[in-house]
Amino acid sequence: MGHPHGSVGQFWLFYRIADAEENLGESEVREAHLAKSLFYIRIGDKEKALEQLKVTEGKTVAVGQRMDLVFYTLQLAFFYMDFDLISKSIDKAKNLFEEGGDWERKNRLKVYEGLYCMSSRNFKKAADLFLDSISTFTTYELFPYDTFIFYTVLTSIISLDRVSLKQKVVDAPEILTVIGKIPYLSEFLNSLYDCQYKSFFSAFAGLTEQIKLDRYLHPHFRYYMREVRTVVYSQFLESYKSVTIEAMAKAFGVTVDFIDLELSRFIAAGKLHCKIDKVAGVLETNRPDAKNALYQATIKQGDFLLNRIQKLSRVIDL
C-alpha cells in the first residue's frame, strides 16, 4: 500500500499533465512534467525520476532550463553516489554551455564538479574549482556555505604551496568570515601556516571525526590523513639540513617512537626525502629541491660541453 500523501500527490500530478496537454500551452505541459520529475526526486525514486527528467528534457528548448534539468540529475546522482551518472551529467552540462548559458549557472557547475573531484580523490582540481567559486557560491541545494568552506580549506591544505595558501585561503575575506564557525578548522589552517606544529596536531585530531563522518570524504579518510601528514612533515623538514628525531617529536608534541615509525613509513613510501640515522637519532634531509636539480643539470651540461670542446680541439690539433 503506497503512502496516502504520495498517491494523492501522484494523482494530482497526472491530472495536471493531462489538463495541461488538453487545455494549456507547451510551457505549461513542460512545467507539469517537471513537477512530476521533482516529485519522484523528492520521494527518492531514482528510475522514475530519471525517466521523467528525460521526458521533460524532450519538451525543453531554452539552454538555461535544460541546464537546470542537468542540475536536478546531478542532485539525484550525488544522493545515490552514482559516479558514472555524475561524470556523464557534468560533461553534458559543459556541452550545453558551449551553446550559451549564464554565469550564475556556470559558477554553480564549478561547485558540482569540485564535489565530484573531491569525491573521486582529485583534491587538487577540487581545491581549484572551490576557490574559484568562493565569492559566487549559490549551490545551497548541495550543502550550506560553512560546509563548502570546510571542503575548500581541507582540499587546499594538501594542494597549494605556501604562497598560494596564504593568498587564497589564509587571508581570504570570504573564508575568514565563516571559518570560526567550524570547530578546529581555523586552528588547523593557521597553525600549519604559522608552523605551530603542536597546535596543528591537536586541531587535526579534533577534525578527524568530522572528516570521517562526512559522506563524501569518508571513503578517502585514510588517504587524506596521510596526505596532510606528508605536507606538514615536509614543511617541518624543509627548514633543516639535519635535525634530531627528538627535536621533531618535541615540536609535534608526540613521542620519539611515534615520529620514528611515522617517518620510516613515509620515507619507505617515497613521500619524504630524508634518511634516518638510527644510531645518532638524527634525520638528514636530502630533498631534491628545484634549485638543486637545476644546479646538477647545469653542471652536467657544462661537463658535456667541455667534453665536446676537448674532442673538437683534438680533431683540430691533428
Answer whether 0.85 is exceeded by the pTM.
Answer: no
Per-residue pLDDT, averaged over 232-242, amounts to 90
Q: Work out the pLDDT band at 2, boundaries 50, 70, 90.
A: very low
Instruction: Give alpha helix (H) positions in 162-255.
Output: 162-165, 173-178, 185-193, 197-213, 221-238, 245-252
Q: CB atoms < 10 A from the CB of 230, how many?
A: 15
Please state, rounded to an integer, the average pLDDT across all residues of the chain. Answer: 86
pLDDT one-digit tens code per residue, 170-200: 999 999 999 999 999 999 999 999 999 999 9
Helix (H, G, I), strand (E, B) or coil at 9: helix
CA 259, CA 249: separation in Å to the nearest integer? 6
- Euclidean distance between CA atoms 299 and 310, whole angstroms: 16
Residues 6 or more apart whose Cβ sits within 8 Å of residue 313: none
Percent of the chain scoring above 90 in pLDDT:
60
Pairwise CA distance, residues 298 & 93, whole Å: 48
- Amino acid (1-letter code) at residue 31: E
Tell me the per-residue pLDDT of 61-80, one tens digit each, with 9 for 90 and over: 788 888 999 999 999 999 99
CB distance 214 to 269 below 8 Å: no
Residues in the chain: 318
Can you give the pLDDT at residue 3? Answer: 47
pLDDT over threshold 50, residue 1: no
Produce one character per residue of 192-217: b if its CB has 16 or more CB atoms within 10 Å, e if not: bbeeebebbbbbbeebeeebeebebb
Tens of pLDDT, residues 122-162: 999 999 999 999 999 999 999 999 999 999 999 999 999 99
pLDDT band at residue 299 under the 50/70/90 scheme: low
**Which pLDDT does position 4 carry in this prediction?**
44
Would you state the pLDDT for residue 55? 86
Sequence-ordered list of residues with C-beta below 8 angstroms from that of 74, at least 6 positions apart, any chain: 86, 89, 90, 93, 112
3-state helix, strand, coil in the chain (%, to 5): 75, 5, 20
Map out the domains of the chain as residue ranges: 1-101
269 and 257 in contact (C-beta within 8 Å)? no
- DSSP β-bridge partners for residue 205: none
Max mean pLDDT among 95-99, 157-161, 235-239 falls in 157-161
pLDDT confidence band for 81 (50 / 70 / 90):
very high
Q: Are strands 282-285 and 242-244 parallel, antiparallel or unpaired?
A: antiparallel
Helices 63-79 and 83-98, axial angle in degrees (round to 10): 170
Report the SS3 class of residue 76: helix
